[in-house]
Amino acid sequence: MFEHSPVQYSSHSKAPLQHARAANTIVSLLDCCASQLILDSNYANDESQYGEEKNMKKLIAFCLCLTLFAVSAFAGVSADIARLEAELTVATTPAQVKMIKAELDGLYLIEPPAIRQSALDDAPANDLCENAIAVAIGSTIAGSTLEATADNAGYCGTSNTAPGVWYSVIGNGGIMTASTCNDADYDTKISVYTDGCGTLTCVAGNDDDPNCSGCTSSASWPSNSDFEYLVLVHGYSSNVGNFNLTISSEDPPEPPANDNCEDAIALEIPSITQGNSDNATADDVEQCGGYMTDMLGVWFTFVGNGHELVLTTCDAGTSYDTQIQVYTGECGELVCVGGDDDDPDCSYNGLLTTLTFCAESGVVYHVLLNGYSGATGDYVLHIEDTGNSCNCIAPDELPLTIYGDLPFCSCVYVCGDQPMTICLGPLGQHERPDQFSITSGCALDPYRVPESGCDDDACTPVTPDPISDWIYDADNSRWCMAFVSANDGCFCFCLDRVLPVELNSFAAIAGDRTVTLNWTTASETDNDYFDIVREGAVVGRVNASNEATGSSYSWSENNLVNGQEYSYTLYAVSLSGLREAIATASATPAYSQAAVADYALHQNFPNPFNPETSISFDLPESELVKLTVSNALGQTVATLVNSSMNAGNHTVTFEAGDMPSGLYFYRLEAGDFSAVRKMILMK
């Protein structure tokens, strides 16, 4: 088979593209034809039959036709090259020259320009790379490619089609420039390489410098001290001529002040630091977190505080693709802690970085902020404290033994993002906890909890979220519920009531000369009916559904006096006749909504619900209010209110049409008041 490489083509114009594709197709057909010739020839030699020899002759004739077709196709390329070369001689603007050259470059890949083959004896002394002439920085040397031979050095900033001559220069760490700008009698090109003549790794290249006349060239590159650079001066198409080559150097721009590890900027926890990493130099440190660190970066340092920290560039002010690596130890002997590249959850740009890690107390950390593939630019670096202790220890399950009269309160210590199950006992299966409260922190508050319950004013206050309903543990005669807190800290847990009837809510809603009582139960066992008592007298009776999953009830009293407060107590009466007060609520009928005296979060109504329910709450004064709904995993699924509201009773509708059935919790935050209740969506 013929050995060949596919013809390459330029995307700058359609004409060379079409010719290149045609050439590739022709070469492939010829290759296929040759393959068949070899196979059929072997077959003929083996069989030695007249019929096979006849077939061979037909195949040879077919391949000859293909060859004639290829010749005719390439004839069109020659005509296009001649036309464009003529247009180039009369082009008047740089844009015209650039466009014509782009088309010619594509055609030259199919039919290279004719190059006069000089004898090696006539070639310049530096015709070959191995004979490159050494040039000092700051000097100009005259040269010529008139008798040079082809180099076939490949593409380096520009294609190599014309003969060239070679020079060498030693880098000084500055920004170096090789130039024939305004100092040549032909259309020049310059390519710069390193790694020696046997490898020729491209560094920079240029065809026409827009700041130079006569299609002359200038190539610049950041140099490394004591590196040898090989400079090839060649020409456009097959152009040759005389030139003067100037080698110059400028000092590199100043790097950032924290370019080196030893000059790291000290960070506070928490803090936000803005800067720019342009002109940063490469950092020779080990890979950290699986990310390349031999890029261009800047350094920071801080002392760990024993907490989980978040380092992030996720900010609208960060302009490039960042990476973050964290180390301990001394500069020069750094030890990797962790690293990260892209943060897909960053709302500004998924190419920005977020790294979360535990910073041990008193340990000095070094942070390298660099860019992917050498990227630099503006950055905003945040260091955030989650508040979670690196060494927080808390049990997964906390058994609490109930003693004395209710309410029963206990201070509970939790670790951030670590679920904890609180189990209350001993309790019977019908003694499901009816009312409980969670107060942020454990400071003594005799107005809300018994003096012996929660009296630790030193721990960090947190408010956990329930992530399960009460579940009965029959083996240990106890009721259990799981909670989770976002941060380390403590809260006061109080069990207020245990009843055979688990009451979710009881609310008195005032109207014009009327009061409506709404209540819901989560479960009922051996319950017969409810009595409604006002001023010691039964004013209403409602039969109980006695459903294990609970039910919703409503009762109204009319013809009341506006402006007078009415207080109602709800009694549950069991099948055995046991009667127990389970809730009290008050309301004042009025022509307009009456003012309320205390904060309150009422149970939603109806409950269970499908698909919507109403949530009512009371504000004794104007407050910034936040009302949210979370699922059993503690994830917020809806924010119903997040604004300032006036004093009074308020009702909000929660629409859950697109949510799955299950247990949900709704939380009210208003000033220092916080309360949580649960509700059940049942579709």
Does a structural domain hold residue 517? no
Does a structural domain hold residue 460? yes
Q: Are 347 and 426 in a shared domain?
A: no
What domain count does the chain have?
5
CB 302 within 8 A of CB 311: no
Reported as a pLDDT band with limits 50, 70 and 90, residue 259 is very high
The confidence score (pLDDT) of residue 235 equals 96
Q: Are 380 and 405 in a shared domain?
A: no
For range 632-650, the mean pLDDT: 88
Q: Around Cβ 277, how many Cβ atoms within 10 Å?
A: 24
Q: 């205390």: which residue's tokens? A: 598
Beta-carbon contacts of residue 95 (< 8 Å; ≥ 6 apart): none
Q: Are 272 and 367 in a shared domain?
A: yes
Task: Express each pLDDT in 214-257 by its tens digit.
Answer: 899 999 998 989 999 999 999 999 999 999 999 999 988 899 99
Q: Are 188 and 243 in a shared domain?
A: yes
3-class secondary-structure state, position 250: strand
Q: Are 215 and 297 in a shared domain?
A: no
Does a structural domain hold residue 358? yes
Does a structural domain hold residue 589? no
The confidence score (pLDDT) of residue 181 equals 97
Report the share of the chain in percent with pLDDT over 90. Answer: 44
d(CA 591, CA 616): 19
Q: Are 279 and 382 in a shared domain?
A: yes
Does a structural domain hold residue 531? no
The confidence score (pLDDT) of residue 511 equals 82
Q: Are 401 and 385 in a shared domain?
A: no
Strand order in the sheet with 648-655: 600-601, 612-619, 648-655
Top-confidence residue, 142 or 593: 142
Q: Are 344 and 361 in a shared domain?
A: yes
Q: Are 140 and 186 in a shared domain?
A: yes
Does a structural domain hold residue 520? no
Last residue within a domain, chosen from 108, 142, 164: 108
Predicted model pTM = 0.41
pLDDT surpasses 50 at 48: no
Q: Which domain holds residue 383?
A: 261-389
Reported as a pLDDT band with limits 50, 70 and 90, residue 292 is low
For range 368-382, the mean pLDDT: 90
Q: Are 282 and 383 in a shared domain?
A: yes
The confidence score (pLDDT) of residue 76 equals 67
Top-confidence residue, 272 or 84: 272
Does a structural domain hold residue 574? no
d(CA 678, CA 667): 9
Strand partners, 665: 630, 678
